[in-house]
Amino acid sequence: MDSHAQKSRPYLIVGVTVLAASLAACGGGSSGGGGSPNPPPPPPPPPSNNAPQLSGPSDFTFDENQTVAFDIQASDADGQTVTFTLESTGDGALFSIDSSSGQVTDITPAGYFDFENPQDLDGDNNYELNVVLSDGVATTDVLINVNINDVEGPLTCSSGDTVSVDENFTGRVYEFAARKPDTEPGQIMFEGMLSVTRQGAGVVSDDMLFSLSLNPVSRVLSLFHILNAESEGDLANAYTISTTVRIDQETANCSVNLQIEDAVNEVTSGIKFSGSYPNAIVIRSGSIGDLDGDGLNELWLGSRKEISESPWEHQGHVVFGQAISD
């Protein structure tokens, strides 16, 4: 080779090298390929669940001596159904909740809260309830406060109850219940006077009038003399016994209906001695012992006529025979 050819060879090699590099950059010149495909993109993450949230008030206030009932409102951003659970410890033991509606009601024995006698753990008339909201996946704890207000309420007394006693009964018949918020029981005074009426066409008997007593301290109504059903007339006509209770200048009426029942055991045989007994105004009826030794106590039955009545013919009877009541 001549010197000119030797000088041009390096340029030829360089050109081949550049061409090979270009082919490599384009993936090669062969039709078969040889590279791997790109992997598919990852799937999107699942949507996150949102816990339910309280959407209404958390503080509720009620007056004392009133029924407590309210609704807890909650919502869920994912549209899931929210259920409600009340922790039954602490103050929560005094309430119940509807798991579907969220309605809360008190379950106190009285059916209401008394400000003067708080039942919450702190004794401050603020009842704290722990409620759990759930959408079936996530939960949220919320604190609900129930506040009880102090109220100056009216004086009230039991009225309209009906009690039944057998004839020949003596003793405690009924206890009136008087109440006024913010007062002690000893401040309420019973006047002690009794008014006796009878329902329907019934007539109030003297026996009933002179057999009733009311203890103004214990508020207990008692029968202290025996009544006879046969002398009371139509027993379907109950007696209504009324009195008045007072505190300062405020009064309230009290009443109870008293039904006399005809007893099975009555005097059906025996000997009766009658005569004039002025002291019958004091001793109207009572046991005088077993006079005839038959194992049964005899009874003194005195008349109910007052000393002011004329003529003064107080009659009493000693009855031998079967006892009036067991």
What pLDDT is recorded for position 139? 97
| 43 is a domain residue | no
Residues 281 and 255 in one domain: no
What pLDDT is recorded for position 189? 84
What pLDDT is recorded for position 242? 95
Q: Which of 261, 288, 310 is the last residue of a domain?
A: 261
Structure token digits, residue 64: 């004392």
Residues 63 and 142 in one domain: yes
Q: For residue 61, give the 3-state DSSP assignment.
A: strand
| 2 is a domain residue | no
C-alpha to C-alpha distance for 241 and 246, rounded to whole angstroms: 17
Residues 77 and 101 in one domain: yes
Residues 113 and 161 in one domain: no
C-alpha to C-alpha distance for 95 and 101, rounded to whole angstroms: 15
What pLDDT is recorded for position 98? 98
What pLDDT is recorded for position 225? 82
Handedness of CA 247, 248, 250, 251 (dihedral sign): positive
| 315 is a domain residue | yes
The verdict on pTM exceeding 0.85 is no
Q: For residue 198, give the 3-state DSSP assignment.
A: strand
The single-letter code of the amino acid at 259 is Q
| 20 is a domain residue | no
Residues 78 and 129 in one domain: yes
Q: Does residue 324 come out as left (phi exceeding 0), alpha (psi in the -120 to 50 range) or beta?
A: alpha
CATH of the domain at 110: 2.60.40.60
Residues 70 and 138 in one domain: yes
H or E element, residue 25: helix 3-25
Q: Which of 124, 149, 174 is the last residue of a domain?
A: 149
What pLDDT is recorded for position 112? 93
Tally the domains of the chain.
Answer: 3
Residues 145 and 164 in one domain: no
Question: What does the DSSP assignment read for 100-154?
Answer: TT-EEEE--TTSS--TTS--STTSSSEEEEEEEEE-SS-EEEEEEEEEEE---PP
Residues 221 and 302 in one domain: no
C-alpha to C-alpha distance for 245 and 214, rounded to whole angstroms: 12
pLDDT along the chain (326 residues), means of 10: 47 43 47 71 84 97 94 96 97 98 96 92 97 97 97 87 89 91 73 86 84 88 84 85 90 94 63 47 57 66 50 49 44
| 17 is a domain residue | no
| 247 is a domain residue | yes
Residue 311: which domain range? 270-321
What pLDDT is recorded for position 285? 57
What pLDDT is recorded for position 108? 94
Residues 238 and 160 in one domain: yes
Residues 113 and 200 in one domain: no
| 303 is a domain residue | yes
Residues 176 and 239 in one domain: yes
| 326 is a domain residue | no
Handedness of CA 256, 259, 263, 266 (dihedral sign): positive
